[in-house]
């Protein structure tokens, strides 16, 4: 649904605005690496612009900090309406490893709604291109939540109720299973 | 002069050829020592919570439903792929995969949840005692991390609610 919307709204090209709200610049370097001729994301029509008012997509790096949350919100509100937000890197997705310090509010999604997440610290340039390709609809996302449940206890539990008297001896009824 | 230099430039450009990766269509294999997303093997995991205690990003939560069942939840949002969990795992149940294409539209997609059965002493039904007092220090006792809010809870009175989830916590806190 979101993919169709993406394709409809952003059929021609995405202009991205690159917002760092307190990251370490690792993700910025990877994002700029994506724009170099080697990875060349301009073949998808992606172009870096300097103002959020020109942009369709906001690339967020870094957690929402106390000092920058308001500015991030303002930048988001300045973008024209069919807009997407990418959270790039572990800080923007989950708050980073300093998520519980006094200055960090948490992930970017606490301040602005996020459409696509690209975890990694920093994500590889290929991972960022993959996120863009997922958004544009070229490829499908690969990850799915993994849940593992054991249905049966592998070792039977000892219960005194299972003790049986047999010929002046007390035998544990499930002993052969132990 | 200017035309010659332009021609020279064009020759340089032609000689270099095409360098751009055709990425989503033809992926390039990653380097051998690349660390991607950690993958948890529930068959090997013994639920010691060493990964949860050593994770710098506090990404691995442990919740003890009862004495026998322990839920280990890897959130994967702010994981830095440092590989410390794989390093500390005594059973080598965590492997750092080469998987990096984890872009998603729901952050819950990168979670991994293991529902583990914990072994206790068959006689008394309690947990095993550690061999030395130093190793006992590393034990956290029962863990009641906040799975709903995805928050790591320290083993101290200050961070716990006034009424404990299970009565056993009174023993563990003292």
Global pTM?
Answer: 0.77
Q: Which domains does chain A have, with CATH numbers?
A: 2-136 (3.40.50.12280)
Give the mutation candidate from B41, B101, B108, B151 for the A interface (greatest A CB count, under 10 A): B101
3-class DSSP state of B69: strand
Interface check B130 vs A, CB under 8 A? no
CB nearest B42 (choices: A119, A127, A148): A148
CB nearest A154 (choices: B101, B111, B117): B117
> B61-77, pLDDT tens digit by residue?
888 887 778 888 998 88
Fold of B33-173: Alpha-Beta Plaits (3.30.70)
Give the mutation candidate from A40, A119, A129, A178 for the B interface (greatest B CB count, under 10 A): A119
Q: What is the Cα–Cα distance from B45 to A115, expressed in whole angstroms? A: 34
> A84-94, pLDDT tens digit by residue?
899 998 899 88
**3-state SS record for B1-59:** CHHHHHHHHHHHHHHHCCCCCCCCCCCCCCCCCCCCCEEECCCCCCCCCHHHHHCCCCC
Distance from CA of B5 to the nearest CA of A (A): 22
DSSP symbol at B129? P
Residues 6+ away with beta carbon under 8 Å from A58: A16, A17, A19, A52, A75, A76, A79, A83, A84, A85, A86, A112
Q: What is the Cα–Cα distance from B76 to A143, expressed in whole angstroms? A: 11
Pairing of strands B94-96, B38-40: antiparallel
Write down the domain spans for chain B. Answer: 33-173
Pairing of strands A57-61, A146-149: unpaired
Q: Which of A165, A144, A24 is nearest to A92 (CA)?
A: A24
Instruction: Identify which has the larger pLDDT, B12 or B132.
Output: B12
Average pLDDT over residues B25-39: 86
> A115-150, pLDDT tens digit by residue?
999 998 889 898 998 888 888 888 888 888 888 887
What ipTM goes with this model? 0.75
Counting runs of H as helices and runs of E as strands, what totals does chain A give? 5, 10
């Amino acid at each position: 649904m979101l993919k169709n919307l993406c394709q409809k709204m952003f059929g021609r090209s995405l202009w991205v605005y690159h917002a760092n709200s307190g990251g370490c610049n690792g993700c910025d370097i990877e994002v700029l690496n994506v724009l170099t001729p080697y990875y060349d994301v301009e073949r998808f029509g992606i172009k870096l612009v300097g103002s959020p008012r020109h942009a369709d997509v906001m690339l967020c790096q870094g957690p929402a900090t106390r000092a920058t949350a308001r500015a991030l919100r303002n930048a988001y509100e300045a973008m024209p309406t069919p807009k997407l937000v990418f959270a790039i890197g572990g800080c923007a997705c989950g708050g980073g490893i300093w998520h519980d310090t006094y200055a960090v509010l948490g992930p970017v999604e606490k301040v602005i709604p996020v459409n696509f997440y690209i975890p990694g610290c920093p994500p590889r340039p290929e991972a960022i291109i993959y996120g863009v390709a997922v958004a544009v609809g070229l490829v499908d996302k690969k990850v799915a939540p993994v849940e593992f449940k054991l249905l049966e206890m592998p070792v039977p539990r000892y219960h005194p109720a299972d003790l049986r008297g047999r010929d002046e001896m007390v035998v544990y009824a499930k002993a052969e299973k132990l | 002069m200017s035309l010659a230099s332009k021609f020279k430039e064009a020759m340089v450009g032609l000689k270099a050829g095409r360098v751009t990766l055709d990425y989503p269509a033809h992926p390039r294999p990653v380097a051998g020592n690349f660390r991607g997303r950690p993958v948890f093997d529930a068959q090997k995991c013994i639920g010691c919570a060493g990964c949860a205690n050593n994770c710098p990003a506090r990404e691995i939560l442990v919740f003890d439903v009862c004495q026998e069942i322990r839920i280990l939840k890897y959130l994967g949002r702010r994981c830095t792929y440092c590989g410390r969990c794989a390093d500390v795992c005594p059973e080598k149940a965590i492997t750092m995969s080469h998987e990096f294409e984890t872009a998603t539209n729901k952050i819950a997609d990168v979670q991994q949840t293991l529902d583990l059965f914990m072994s206790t002493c068959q006689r008394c039904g309690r947990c095993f005692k550690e061999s030395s007092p130093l190793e006992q220090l590393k034990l956290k006792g029962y863990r009641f991390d906040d799975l709903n809010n995805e928050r790591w809870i320290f083993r101290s009175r200050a961070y716990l609610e006034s009424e404990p989830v299970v009565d056993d916590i009174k023993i563990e806190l003292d």
